[in-house]
Structure 1
Amino acid sequence: MNEKPAAPTPEEYPIAWHALPEADVFAALATSVSGLDAAEVQRRLRVNGPNQLPAAPGKHPIMRLLAQFNNALIYFLLAAAVAAATLGHHIDAVVILAVVTVNAIVGFVQEGRAEKALNAIRSMISPHAQVIRDARRQSIPATDLVPGDIVLLEAGDRIPADLRLTRARALLIEEAALTGESVPSEKREALVDARSPLAERFCMAFSGTMVAAGQGMGIVVATGAHTEIGHISRMISQVQEITTPLLRQINEFGRRFTWTAVSAAVALFIFAVLVRQFHWEEALIAVVALAVGVVPEGLPAVITITLAIGVQRMAARNAVVRRLPAVETLGATSVICSDKTGTLTRNEMTARRLVTAGHEIMVGGSGYRPEGSFRVSGRDEDMESLALAAPLLRTALLCNDAQLRQTGPDAWHVDGDPMEGALVCLVMKAGFDPGHVRGEWPRVDEIPFDAKHRFMASLHQGPGERVIFVKGAPEQLLAKAAGQAGAHGTEPLDAPCWQERIEAAAAQGERVLGFAMKPVPAGLDRLSFADLDTDLIFIGIIGFIDPPRDEAVDAIAECRSAGIQVKMITGDHGATAAAIAGQLGLADRPEVVTGADIDRMDDAALKQVAERAHVFARTSPEHKLRIVQALQADRAIVAMTGDGVNDAPSLKQANVGIAMGGKGTEAAKEAAEIVLLDDNFASIVAAVHEGRTVYDNIRKVIAWTLPTNGGEALTVIAAILLGFTMPMSPVQILWINLILTVTLGLVLAFEPSEPGVMQRPPRPANAPLLSRFLVWRVILVSFLFLGGALAIFFYALNRGHDVETARTMVVNTIVVLEIFYLFNVRYLHVGSVTWRGVLGTPAVLLVIAIVVAAQLAFTYTPVMQAWFATRPVPLADGIVIILTGVLLMAVLEGEKALLRRWRLFGDEI
């Protein structure tokens, strides 16, 4: 008895199914055209498992929540809360704890992003499949498919597993989610080279893609995690999350600041007790007051609010942020990797070149709007040439099933194939009425487009003649042609000349269709392939292009001025991508690297190539992931755009993943931090602009907060070291922190962009949160605040005021200095003494009014005097305090001008 071959295990599957003859595929999978029997299916299910992707592993929710608190910044915030609570400043303590809680909740929610991305891919598996088992057709759950099953395909089906096609009849499969191809892939049974990229494996159908047209049949060669989509799922699970630059910097700042503050407080406590003979409780109160003064407890909350405001601004520019720190990271972006179709281009095919035997005509306009001029040899609308092109235009319209209809004042929609819609638009640009022409040439019969023969033909009855019109791959039509249409009738075919013209159009990034015709006897009513084997008259070719978006050209120019590299990563052909890259202005002479080139490179070689190349064509998910990793290895901050499942691993790997909201798959959106509502590259650049503004505002918040806190702390330290009366009481320090943190500190989050924000180069990936300029500013302004506070304190005492009045004047001086410093710090890169700078924004003016009102109450109302031990300040002394603020502003504006002139800190100011 002959034993049935054992069910193959996943490890035994050959890799290159597309390169194996059909008979070898049947033999390797131990199956036949009659399909598997029930017993064999069960055996294979036990070996291979169900046809579904594994669920994403995840942490226990409690562990995920606790992990959010294991962070130096959180410890830093909790220490500030304890310090505030120790002094009875419960409002500050509650606010800080609220910030910690919110951060933990946000982190807890975002922790599951990878799981969502994987589960979104799982949902792409088809729920049912039509198969042949036991020699009869059956409908089964897709999860029950096994290698060796025979699957039947029809238009509208989602491919349930990876298939080696054994029959393809006009089969078109939409594979954009896997390959990035902008048009459906034409499938056929013939095997292809083993090294062919995914987009060129025409005898394969892949799980999760969609049948756009036609019928087919195939053998299941891979299921579940062993499919191409399963391979992508594994890649996503292996990608490590990238910590954003801001989070890295805040964590590092938190660690250093915490140790510095603790060390300084301990040293000062020991000095006060041992040297100045303070009672330990008095010393402890003074040191805790110092800690509360120096700890910027409001800083993380203000940074969070600044990021949130950036999110709102980006939403107004069609960029929805799913993860808050991505706002700032986008502002640090140094490389944007973008797909081509629909993002950099309009995703609307446009016929732009007509070639006949004697003329070449260029067509203006873009998209499906039927407006555009015709230029022949540089001249507008050569009527003789257009007349000679009439047969070509007629063929393009009649051998065509698309309809073009107007849906708005400037909006047109194609019902049917995009390229056929572009042909209808072309005919309308030439002044023809499609309905009238089709009425004059009614269709008698047709042969729909067939992927095997690569053409479409239609039979028409015209005025006094019956003609077959054909459109398809130019090489196919040229092989069947006996002559060509010329100015004086049919001429001998000049195939080499046509081949040269086809190659010239392709070199410009155009997709090329050929057109032919054949007069036939009046009695012919049915078309067959035999009618088209010979004697065609080749009419000409039409070149199509998906034109660049006008706004994308401007946006790329803005990126180049901002020092941001833009790289196109596409599944399209290299020549097409290079031509579009040139039109977009990516480079004067774009360098193109293909997926096959990447396969031959190790990581070190790819790192060098990735930095200089502008276009990556015919790329697979692995290629995209390697490209992003290579750029990151060179310390680039990478923003990656994508819309398909094939983009999900690289979106997750990138510093900022940007998914398309319109055409994007759920898997891509879940893997990304930002979703574009309009799928437009210009929106990415607008978001980068907002991201840079957000980072500038965060720097302004830091540049304002640390020196003001530093001035308060130095005042306390000076009093302890030099042994004079404290210029401010602890409760007065808390008042300053409370009133200013929630007003002046917060208003900087609303600042608009500074001039020239997109003319600066991206900041380095390893740039510290406190730049050299900010460190200088913290030190300088802290000592200026110290000088101003002590000057007013001793001025008040010398004037004969009591200590309470002197302290009240010091508090008001600190507030006035911080108001004037706010106007200075609003512009870090340019001078602040301008009408725009002096007048401020509505938010600034409102907040200053609130602070002034609060200080007047603090100084002059009996209730506040009782709480804070304050005294009324004479008018003359109040004027002196205001002049102190004016002096500070003058000193800092002079310092800023000198630093810019001497360029001591490079591009930091």
Structure 2
Amino acid sequence: MNARSTAGSFERAPDQWHTLRPDEIRHHLQTPHGGLPEAEARRRLAQYGPNRLAPPKRRGPLLRLLMQFHNILLYVMMGAAAITAVLGHWVDTGVLLAAVVINAIIGFIQEGKAEAALDAIRAMLSPHATVVRDGHRREIDAADLVPGDLVLLGSGDRVPADLRLVSVHELRVEEAALTGESLPVEKGTEAVAADAPLGDRYGMAYSGTLVVYGQAKGIVVGTGGATELGKINELLTGIQALSTPLLRQIDRFGRFLAIAILAIAAATFLLGTLGRGHSPSEMFMMVVALAASAIPEGLPAIMTVTLALGVQRMARRNAIVRRLPAVETLGSVTVICSDKTGTLTRNEMTVQRVVCAGHVFDVGGVGYAPVGDFSVDGHIIDTDRYPALSLAIRAAVLCNDAHLREDDGLWRVEGDPTEGALLVLGDKAGFTRNVADSDWPRRDSIPFESQHRFMATYHRDADGEPWIFVKGAPERILDICTQQFDHDGERPLDADYWRRMATDTAAQGLRLLGLACKRAAPAEDHLRFADVEDGYTLLALVGIIDPPREEAIHAVGECHRAGIRVKMITGDHAETARAIGAQLAIGIGKPAVTGAEVAIMDDAALRRVAMEVDVFARASPEHKLRLVQALQDDGQVVAMTGDGVNDAPALKRADVGVAMGMKGTEAAKEAADVVLTDDNFATIAAAVREGRAVYDNLKKFILFMLPTNGGEALVVIAAILFELTLPLTPAQVLWINMVTSSTLGLALAFEPPERNIMGRMPRPPREALLSGFFIWRVVMVSFLMMTGALGLFLWEMEHGTSLETARTMAVNAVVVAEMFYLVNSRYIFAPVTNREGLTGNRYVLAAIAACIPLQLAFTHAPAMQAIFGSADLSVIEWLKVVGAGLLVFCVAELEKLVMRRARVAAAEGPA
């Protein structure tokens, strides 16, 4: 917050409120101990406005709707509709225009949903606040808060504005949504360094975060847009959504195709009228037919259907797609940037290590489910046979205020997550809270306070003997201990051993707690701080971590095999991030870069670091956004996952934003393109597989469609060039397009993923849709179709067959060739001359089965003969037609064989 964001008489207030002491804050913001006078609060409210985030400027509904038509795909469809209207095919015109309108409406609805991201952030602001004004405590609308207000916080409150804390009593604030910190943060009033990360500013409480324990007083230093939430809102407002790789490719492809079609049509018209003497009206109709045969009318429809089918398949895999093109974009992802807490990890603190004197115990199981074994050097042990471990576990459960609950098979913790992890540890050893309360009743306690850094409880055991248990920061516990408990009882404290074990455990990214006890009663039968000064026996050091999901470990490995780099960007500490990263095989052997280091890098340096480093810690929303942009500037297609409001800007900027549906904030979900209903990183790998299949199917359709249209166009062009009788009439060309677009091509949208799809490297982000191979395949198959249809037509004309029959054979030759080529198109390189290739997609067989009666009706139905000028064919003539189709099938399979061998030879290199 800058100086002008406060009030007129304290213009010199600094930018970083966390660097000032409480008395300096009161002075700068002119806040009396009894709070602001009501009149002054009204004056400041009038000057600086309400404590709410300003709504963004948005386009009106009409403009938003009209902008949906500004799309190259829709231009192609509208052009096709205009051509069919000129030819009087009003049914085709109506279908195409209906598809245009439906696409525009879908886009209009989706854009409206995307704008809800900003609304979700504004909804995080607390509706009410408790303030002190004129010396009296009162509850007001949080929108009426002003800089300098004195605010009271209690357990369960949502922080209503950015506050500088001036008085704290055991305050812990859940900041995961804002910082990514996996544990509630213990707050104090001390000033910290100016460059301290957001998660380390212990004297601040930020708008939208949640008080989970304790009480505090704080002075408002930021309201509305000047809060950290406001900064994120501003970041979101300024981020322009990027077009997807597929839409960029289709856009370039559409422009190229439109120019090529117009150029060929114009050249053909001039050749026919000026070079061959045809009448302009006749040539105009032929040019229109030529354009109709070349324009891929089916592309927008097949693209929509293919993407929609991908959405359905992803939904069955727990990934809800909110924006249709994101389906395919997932398949082109080269880098996945993932938040740690709750995405790669369980967001459930777990004890993994217990260090006692002479033994280090590993604890199995993850999360809050009390299932897991204790082991030493890989051998499972019975905790009852290790007195020091048993007593340490007893201390962990007794010196504890949390509660462990099971609801419908799901375990959850009420209270501090760290204390919950200790309860789970006790349950694994058979010492539950019920046993503790009945056999070891608590007589008194000293709650945890940040200035003392320990918690103590006083108990009587079943024999009436007194015990005091203490847990807290390891160095604080070491200070009060003179003895240690091992297998043989109490021994003098070996401080060097415990410091060495503490360093070793912390290096593994585990958070440490010390446990100690004293077999004595308090001096006055109730606990005082004087009772926790010395004479204690150290029982254990406990190592706690938020463990990675097992399925996430496998998913990261699958992503690596698929050539996708996985980067962890978290608000947590660097040591913890490195340890989790190592367990997930992310960033092994590489350093972790902190947000503070990112902040001082220029864009060029950040681009280099973003590609080289895989673990980023203590990252703020701005850092996450810059990292995503740096990767995109390097040409990467980036997927970003996250669950907090701090992830929302990066989610919106990424090529694919993936939010967690269970534990994610509404702001993250609304900013994302995909929502995972199971909060599971492994679902992303499955979604990438589906995305690659979608792109494959679109590519297969284009490889099927272009030769089909090209073959028809070449037949017409060849007839005009060589002054031949036209083998196809304009009406017959449109019949072929209608039949193939509505039946055959659609079947490729249902093609299942190929087996090796996740064994490939990601396609290059700048790869053109029409590669050299694509052009070769299109030209080759187009000439094959032209050869079959035109050759059959000329052969029949040479042998005295009627024009109507010869044309009917040419039409059927094109359609039958397309039926055979549809089977070829199931695999781009793999052979289809096996059972799986010929019958593996029942929709291909159904499309061919649907096309056959249509062609029989075209050929033999009197009504169709009257409309299209077709004629009956004999069995021999039908066999000739099938032969023309087989020519395409056999040569296409032979070409695949040659291409496969060439690719193998290229991969092996020179001998």
The answer to whether TM tops 0.5 is: yes
Seen in structure 2, the aligned counterparts of structure 1 residues 327 and 420 have a Cα distance that, compared at 3 Å, is same
Q: Which runs of 5+ in 2 are unaligned?
A: 1-5
1:106 maps to amino acid: I
Whole-Å Cα distance in 1 between the matches of residues 11 and 848 of structure 2? 71
Whole-Å Cα distance in 2 between the matches of residues 544 and 522 of structure 1? 30
Question: Greater CA deviation, 378-387 or 806-815?
Answer: 378-387
Aligned equivalent of 1:141: 141
Aligned equivalent of 1:787: 787
Aligned equivalent of 2:395: 395
1:565 maps to amino acid: R
Aligned equivalent of 2:90: 90
Contact 2:458 2:521 (8 Å CA) reproduced: no
Matches within 5 A, 1:183-198: 183-198=183-198
Contact 2:184 2:416 (8 Å CA) reproduced: no
CA offset digits 1:415-467 (Å, max 9, x no partner): 44333232222223224354234321111112223233232221111124211
What SS does structure 1 have at the residue aligned with 2:255? Answer: helix
Contact 2:74 2:300 (8 Å CA) reproduced: no
Question: By how many angstroms is 1:109 displaced?
Answer: 2.9
Question: By how many angstroms is 1:249 displaced?
Answer: 1.3
Question: By how many angstroms is 1:10 displaced?
Answer: 9.1
Aligned equivalent of 2:434: 435
Contact 2:161 2:227 (8 Å CA) reproduced: yes
Aligned equivalent of 1:446: 445
Aligned equivalent of 2:553: 553
Matches within 5 A, 1:334-733: 334-381=334-381, 386-407=386-407, 411-462=410-461, 463-521=463-521, 524-733=524-733
1:606 maps to amino acid: L
Question: By how many angstroms is 1:550 displaced?
Answer: 1.4
Question: By how many angstroms is 1:481 displaced?
Answer: 2.5
Whole-Å Cα distance in 2 between the matches of residues 718 and 904 of structure 1? 37
Contact 1:10 1:226 (8 Å CA) reproduced: no
Aligned equivalent of 1:822: 822
1:66 maps to amino acid: L
What SS does structure 2 have at the residue aligned with 1:251? Answer: helix
Whole-Å Cα distance in 2 between the matches of residues 343 and 754 of structure 1? 28
Whole-Å Cα distance in 2 between the matches of residues 831 and 469 of structure 1? 72
Contact 1:478 1:495 (8 Å CA) reproduced: yes
What SS does structure 2 have at the residue aligned with 1:248? Answer: helix
Whole-Å Cα distance in 2 between the matches of residues 626 and 191 of structure 1? 28
What SS does structure 1 have at the residue aligned with 2:757? Answer: coil
Question: By how many angstroms is 1:493 displaced?
Answer: 2.7
CA offset digits 1:302-355 (Å, max 9, x no partner): 111111111111111111111111111111000000111221122222211111
Question: By how many angstroms is 1:9 displaced?
Answer: 7.5
Question: Greater CA deviation, 818-827 or 530-539?
Answer: 530-539
1:279 aligns with 2:279: yes
Aligned equivalent of 1:261: 261
Whole-Å Cα distance in 1 between the matches of residues 634 and 344 of structure 2? 25
Question: Greater CA deviation, 324-333 or 11-20?
Answer: 11-20
2:214 maps to amino acid: G
Question: Greater CA deviation, 692-701 or 764-773?
Answer: 764-773
Question: By how many angstroms is 1:543 displaced?
Answer: 0.8
Contact 1:151 1:217 (8 Å CA) reproduced: yes
Whole-Å Cα distance in 2 between the matches of residues 72 and 690 of structure 1? 25
Contact 1:637 1:655 (8 Å CA) reproduced: yes
Contact 2:587 2:613 (8 Å CA) reproduced: no
- TM-score (normalizing by structure 1): 0.96
CA offset digits 1:691-749 (Å, max 9, x no partner): 00000000011000111001001101111111111111111111111111011111100
Contact 1:73 1:255 (8 Å CA) reproduced: no
Question: By how many angstroms is 1:126 displaced?
Answer: 1.0
Aligned equivalent of 1:864: 864
2:437 maps to amino acid: R
Question: Greater CA deviation, 865-874 or 22-31?
Answer: 865-874
1:874 maps to amino acid: S
Whole-Å Cα distance in 2 between the matches of residues 301 and 904 of structure 1? 36
- TM-score (normalizing by structure 2): 0.96
Contact 2:792 2:810 (8 Å CA) reproduced: yes
1:822 maps to amino acid: L
1:287 maps to amino acid: V
Contact 1:169 1:452 (8 Å CA) reproduced: no
Whole-Å Cα distance in 1 between the matches of residues 642 and 98 of structure 2? 36
Aligned equivalent of 1:251: 251
Whole-Å Cα distance in 1 between the matches of residues 10 and 497 of structure 2? 51
Question: By how many angstroms is 1:829 displaced?
Answer: 3.5
Question: By how many angstroms is 1:750 displaced?
Answer: 0.6
Contact 2:388 2:485 (8 Å CA) reproduced: no
1:887 maps to amino acid: L
Aligned residues: 901
Aligned equivalent of 1:836: 836
CA offset digits 1:631-668 (Å, max 9, x no partner): 01110000001111111111111111111111111111
Whole-Å Cα distance in 1 between the matches of residues 369 and 123 of structure 2? 37
Contact 2:388 2:539 (8 Å CA) reproduced: no
CA offset digits 1:874-895 (Å, max 9, x no partner): 1112112212222221111111
CA offset digits 1:510-538 (Å, max 9, x no partner): 11111111233377432222321333322
Whole-Å Cα distance in 2 between the matches of residues 906 and 681 of structure 1? 36
1:50 aligns with 2:56: no
Aligned equivalent of 2:106: 106
Contact 1:8 1:29 (8 Å CA) reproduced: no
Aligned equivalent of 2:60: 60
1:235 maps to amino acid: L
Question: By how many angstroms is 1:75 displaced?
Answer: 2.7
Seen in structure 2, the aligned counterparts of structure 1 residues 408 and 236 have a Cα distance that, compared at 3 Å, is closer
1:79 aligns with 2:79: yes
Aligned equivalent of 1:3: none
1:722 maps to amino acid: F
Question: By how many angstroms is 1:405 displaced?
Answer: 4.2
Matches within 5 A, 1:194-205: 194-205=194-205
What SS does structure 1 have at the residue aligned with 2:365? Answer: coil
2:28 maps to amino acid: A
Question: By how many angstroms is 1:261 displaced?
Answer: 0.9
CA offset digits 1:786-845 (Å, max 9, x no partner): 111111112222343201001111111111100110111110142221210111322111
Question: By how many angstroms is 1:12 displaced?
Answer: 4.6
Question: By how many angstroms is 1:588 displaced?
Answer: 3.7
Question: Greater CA deviation, 498-507 or 612-621?
Answer: 498-507
Whole-Å Cα distance in 2 between the matches of residues 392 and 29 of structure 1? 49
What SS does structure 2 have at the residue aligned with 1:194? Answer: coil
Seen in structure 2, the aligned counterparts of structure 1 residues 96 and 187 have a Cα distance that, compared at 3 Å, is same
Aligned equivalent of 2:116: 116
Contact 1:592 1:615 (8 Å CA) reproduced: yes
Contact 1:58 1:112 (8 Å CA) reproduced: no
Q: Which runs of 5+ in 1 are unaligned?
A: 1-5
Question: By how many angstroms is 1:905 displaced?
Answer: 12
1:646 maps to amino acid: N
Question: By how many angstroms is 1:587 displaced?
Answer: 4.3
Seen in structure 2, the aligned counterparts of structure 1 residues 29 and 490 have a Cα distance that, compared at 3 Å, is same
Whole-Å Cα distance in 2 between the matches of residues 156 and 503 of structure 1? 35
Question: By how many angstroms is 1:108 displaced?
Answer: 2.5
Aligned equivalent of 2:3: none
Contact 2:817 2:885 (8 Å CA) reproduced: yes
Aligned equivalent of 2:234: 234
Whole-Å Cα distance in 2 between the matches of residues 904 and 794 of structure 1? 41
Seen in structure 2, the aligned counterparts of structure 1 residues 96 and 765 have a Cα distance that, compared at 3 Å, is same
1:811 aligns with 2:801: no
What SS does structure 2 have at the residue aligned with 1:341? Answer: helix
1:531 maps to amino acid: D
Seen in structure 2, the aligned counterparts of structure 1 residues 542 and 194 have a Cα distance that, compared at 3 Å, is same
What SS does structure 2 have at the residue aligned with 1:682? Answer: helix
Identity of aligned residues (%): 53
Whole-Å Cα distance in 2 between the matches of residues 804 and 100 of structure 1? 36
Contact 1:792 1:810 (8 Å CA) reproduced: yes
1:900 aligns with 2:889: no
Whole-Å Cα distance in 1 between the matches of residues 711 and 794 of structure 2? 16
Aligned equivalent of 1:172: 172
2:838 maps to amino acid: V
What SS does structure 2 have at the residue aligned with 1:483? Answer: strand
Whole-Å Cα distance in 1 between the matches of residues 358 and 246 of structure 2? 62
What SS does structure 2 have at the residue aligned with 1:449? Answer: strand
Aligned equivalent of 1:70: 70
Question: By how many angstroms is 1:62 displaced?
Answer: 2.0
